[in-house]
């Protein structure tokens, strides 16, 4: 049976309250140390109501991560909608990397996600959907599903290396690490070698724009 408009709105508000509360707690102490009880106590929403919407705190985290990615896509497409899909895809990655580099709380959340097999798999699947959204539905007809997955495992694996580099005794320069990852991404997605450097230079010219987006990445 369909929900009434009043019930649907109430459910939407409850879901948003859960997500906002969980986001605040995740940023304070990470996902692993967060419990449903803590979300209940701070939000004032019962555990039964939370489990009626989400099956676990991991599902809450993955929903938040998907929302952040959607927000990032919107910002990039508003700024660079006239650029090629490959450029837009790279810009989304660059905004993510800038957020990781500039905000220790974001970095630690990404580090948790990339060291959990289930959460890493969810991150890969989000970026598969990102490819489809940016490159269009016809893109999926050009490549087999396992090819798209393999490319995304390579790109997200490299992102995991980028994240972990911040914990090295002698971490590489951030900009150098960012552009190495972007170069790999261009190659993995089929860009010709001669086209990579111009795109990297163009992205670098808007570095302050991507940095501002990185500051806003967690905002609704």
Nearest 5 degrees, angle CA 71-CA 123-CA 61?
70
DSSP 157: H
pTM for this predicted structure:
0.89
CA dist 22 and 43 (Å) reads 9
Predicted confidence at residue 148, as pLDDT, reads 84
Residue 121, exposed/middle/buried by CB under 10 A (0-12, 13-18, 19+)?
A: middle
The pLDDT tens digits of the residues spanning 5-26 come to: 888 888 899 999 999 999 999 9
Average pLDDT, the chain: 90
pLDDT of 174 higher than 70: yes
Say how many C-beta atoms besides its own lie within 10 A of residue 31's C-beta. Answer: 21
pLDDT of 192 higher than 90: no
Q: Would you say 72 and 96 are in contact if contact means Cβ atoms under 8 Å apart?
A: yes
The pLDDT tens digits of the residues spanning 27-86 come to: 999 999 999 999 999 999 999 999 999 999 999 999 999 999 999 999 999 999 999 999
Confidence of residue 131 (pLDDT cuts 50, 70, 90): confident
Say how many C-beta atoms besides its own lie within 10 A of residue 118's C-beta. Answer: 10
């Amino acid at each position: 049976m369909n929900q009434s408009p009043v019930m649907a709105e109430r459910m939407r508000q409850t879901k948003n309250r859960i997500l906002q509360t969980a986001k605040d707690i995740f940023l304070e102490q990470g996902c692993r140390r967060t419990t449903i009880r803590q979300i209940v106590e701070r939000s004032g929403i019962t555990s039964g109501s939370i489990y009626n919407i989400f099956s676990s705190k991991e599902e809450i985290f993955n929903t938040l991560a998907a929302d952040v990615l959607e927000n990032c896509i919107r910002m990039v497409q508003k700024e660079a909608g006239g650029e090629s899909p490959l450029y837009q895809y790279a810009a989304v990655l660059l905004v993510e990397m800038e957020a990781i580099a500039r905000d220790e709380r974001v970095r630690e959340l990404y580090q948790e996600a990339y060291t959990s097999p289930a959460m890493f798999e969810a991150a890969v699947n989000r970026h598969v959907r990102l490819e489809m959204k940016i490159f269009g539905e016809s893109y999926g007809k050009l490549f087999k599903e396992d090819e798209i997955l393999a490319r995304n495992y390579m790109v997200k694996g490299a992102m995991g290396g980028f994240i972990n580099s911040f914990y090295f005794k002698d971490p590489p320069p951030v900009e150098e690490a960012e552009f190495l990852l972007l170069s790999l991404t261009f190659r993995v997605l089929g860009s010709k070698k001669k086209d990579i450097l111009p795109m990297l230079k163009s992205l670098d010219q808007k570095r302050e724009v991507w940095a501002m987006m990185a500051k806003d990445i967690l905002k609704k």
